[in-house]
Structure 1
Amino acid sequence: MKFLVKTQRGMESVTANYIREALPDAEVWASPMGYSGLVIVETDDRSAEEKILEIPEVERAIKVLFEVPAELEAILSVAEDVAKLIRENETFAVKTKRRGKHDFSSLDVNAQLGAKIKELTNADVNLSWPDKVVQVEIIGDKAYISLLPGEEYRKFTPDKINARKLFRKVTLVQMPYWGDYKACRSFGEKIGRAAQAFEVRELIIAPKEKMDAFELMEFIKGVRVGQESRYQIQREAYPWKVEKVPVSVWDLYQVVRDKRRNKRLLIITDPKGPSLAEVKDKLARDMYYAKEVVIFVGSREGIPRGLFRFADYVVDLAPYMTFATEHGIPAALVSMWEIYEEYSRTREGEE
């Protein structure tokens, strides 16, 4: 039997050596035809898959069912044999990874092989969450065909609640970092990256008093750089359109006046408040129904105590601990999401 083993790029030789130790009689080929992240294993050991998966460097061990020339007609010729392994009441998808130059594309394989299997089985195609995946791995002049169960680890599944339900109505009010120009720039980058990572409704940079214009300028430059770096990654990683988070500057006290006047939910993160566990049920409910959730995050100094009277909640995220400035946004948003998600699931269950 033959296995196509996938690993992190650069780990092929290390992984191959561990496989040779586990399967002394196996033929092991690291980086076939120079393609990284791959190891081909051929062995007669019936427990080979179990032994291979005991190696931490191995990410996946795909058992090859059919090996044919990397030609479209040859790949389609195994459709009948593959169809025997898929029941009519199951859903399936064909996924192809092509390495090398060929006179057909991965989409050609997906479409034509998928159509033929559907015709033979009458099973439905489900590209998002199939019961079974017909995996076609093409390496140079060879095509390896496997049948896999639906993926165990997936980013987007129906049972997960989209975190954007909360974050798209969150406005972050961040006090700027001040002091050394380089430090201002560095902290600005981290804060800009964090705000963009969560795709919040808005980031408001809010000084509490007069401050050095050039220190603020460096901080804002950093925010822009950090935001842009994260935005470019999101554009490549997400299958949907990503927007840049709006960034504005506003006096801290005026933010409180305006948001309070317009009946927005105001949350201040500060060690002087009760722990999140003490208020989570009521806070989660209020966030669920709020039109806008405004979260205030300090920098070097906490949010002025006088503003606590105007907040709906003052919350201590981690008692007896003080977060570094760059950790304020991620700590606050992840904590808020945890209690929001729990409440959302309860609401959905009731409905």
Structure 2
Amino acid sequence: MKFIVKTQRGMESVAANYIREAISDASVWASPMGYSGLIIVETSDENAGEKILEIPEVERLIPVIAEVPAELEAIVTTAEKIAPLISENETFAVKTKRRGKHGFTSMDVNRELGARIRELTNADVNLSWPDRVVQVEIIGDKAYISVVPGEEFRKFTPDKIDARKLFRKVTLVQMPYWGNHKACRSFGEKIGRAAQAFEVKELIIAPKEKMDAFELAEFIKGVKIGQESRHQIQREAYPWKVEKVPVSVWDLYQVVRDKRRGKRLLIITDPKGPTLAEVKDRLAKDMFYAKEVVIFVGSREGIPRGLFRFADYVVDLAPYMTFATEHGIPAALVSLWEVYEEYARKREKKT
């Protein structure tokens, strides 16, 4: 039997050595044709699959059902071997990873092989959540075909509540960092990256009093740099279009005055307030129905105490702990998302 083993890039040689130790008769080819993160294993050991999966460096194990030349016609003929492994009441998808130059594309393989399998099995195609995945691994002049279960670990599944339902209505009010120009730029980058990572509705940079214009300028430059770097990663990683978070500057006290109007919820994170556990049920419900959730985050100093009277909630996220400036946004949003998700799931069950 033959397996395609996948690892992190650069870890294939380490994993290959462990495979040789675990399976005495294994023929192991690490980085076939120079492609990192891959190992081809051939063995007669019937328990080889279990032994390989005991190696932490191994990320995926694909048992090879058919091996043919890397030609579209030859790959399509493997449908005869694949079809008996997919029942009519299951869904499937064909996924192809092609390495090297060929006279066809991965989409060609998916379309042609998928059509033939569907013809033989009468099973439905499901590209998002298939019960079975026909995996085609093309390495140079060889194609290796397998059938594996749908992914065990998925980023996006129907049973997960989309966190953007909350974050799209969150406005972050962040006090700027001040002091050394280099430090202002550095903290600005971290805050800009954090705000963009959560795809919030808006980031407001809000000084509480007159401050040095050049220190503020460095902080804002840092926010822009951090936002740009995170946005570039999001564009490459996400299957949906990601917009840049709007960034504005406003006096802290004027933000409070304006945000008191309308169906808005004001939340201040501060150690002087009750713990999240004490208020989570009521807070979660209010966040669910609020038009906008406004979260105030301090920097070097906390939010001025006089503003507590105008907040709907003053919450202590971690008693006896004070967060570093760059940790304020992630800590607040992750904590609030947890209580929001719990409420949303309970509400779904009731309805």
TM-score (normalised: structure 1): 0.99
Residue 316 of structure 1: how far off its partner (Å): 0.2
Task: Name 1:264's counterpart in structure 2.
Answer: 264
Residue 73 of structure 1: how far off its partner (Å): 0.8
Listed as ranges, the matches of 1:220-299 within 5 Å are: 220-299=220-299
Give the distance between the partners of 1:82 and 1:13, measured in 2 at CA.
31
SS of structure 2 residue aligned to 1:173: strand
Equivalent pair of 2:66/2:81 in contact (CA under 8 Å):
no
Task: Name 2:75's counterpart in structure 1.
Answer: 75
Unmatched 5+ stretches in structure 2: none
Give the distance between the partners of 2:292 and 2:39, measured in 1 at CA.
51
Residue 263 of structure 1: how far off its partner (Å): 4.1
Task: Name 2:111's counterpart in structure 1.
Answer: 111
Give the distance between the partners of 1:197 and 1:118, measured in 2 at CA.
40
Once the two structures are superposed, residues 58-107 of structure 1 have per-residue CA deviations (whole angstroms, 9 ceiling, x without a partner) of 00111001111111111111112211111110000000000011111100
Listed as ranges, the matches of 1:129-278 within 5 Å are: 129-278=129-278
After TM superposition, what 4+ stretches of structure 1 lie above 4 angstroms from structure 2?
Answer: none
SS of structure 1 residue aligned to 2:3: strand
Task: Name 1:63's counterpart in structure 2.
Answer: 63
Listed as ranges, the matches of 1:88-107 within 5 Å are: 88-107=88-107
Task: Name 2:12's counterpart in structure 1.
Answer: 12
Once the two structures are superposed, residues 186-222 of structure 1 have per-residue CA deviations (whole angstroms, 9 ceiling, x without a partner) of 0000000000000000000000000000000000000
2:294 aligned with 1:320: no
Give the distance between the partners of 2:234 and 2:78, measured in 1 at CA.
38
Give the distance between the partners of 1:80 and 1:56, measured in 2 at CA.
34
Unmatched 5+ stretches in structure 1: none
Give the distance between the partners of 1:156 and 1:149, measured in 2 at CA.
17
Q: Give the share of equivalent positions with the same residue, in percent.
A: 85
Aligned length: 351
Task: Name 1:332's counterpart in structure 2.
Answer: 332
| RMSD (Å), alpha carbons | 0.5
Equivalent pair of 2:263/2:290 in contact (CA under 8 Å):
no
Which region of structure 1 is more displaced relative to structure 2, 22-31 or 168-177? 22-31
Once the two structures are superposed, residues 29-61 of structure 1 have per-residue CA deviations (whole angstroms, 9 ceiling, x without a partner) of 000000010001000111101110111000011
Give the distance between the partners of 2:34 and 2:261, measured in 1 at CA.
64
Give the distance between the partners of 1:312 and 1:289, measured in 2 at CA.
14
Give the distance between the partners of 2:337 and 2:263, measured in 1 at CA.
21
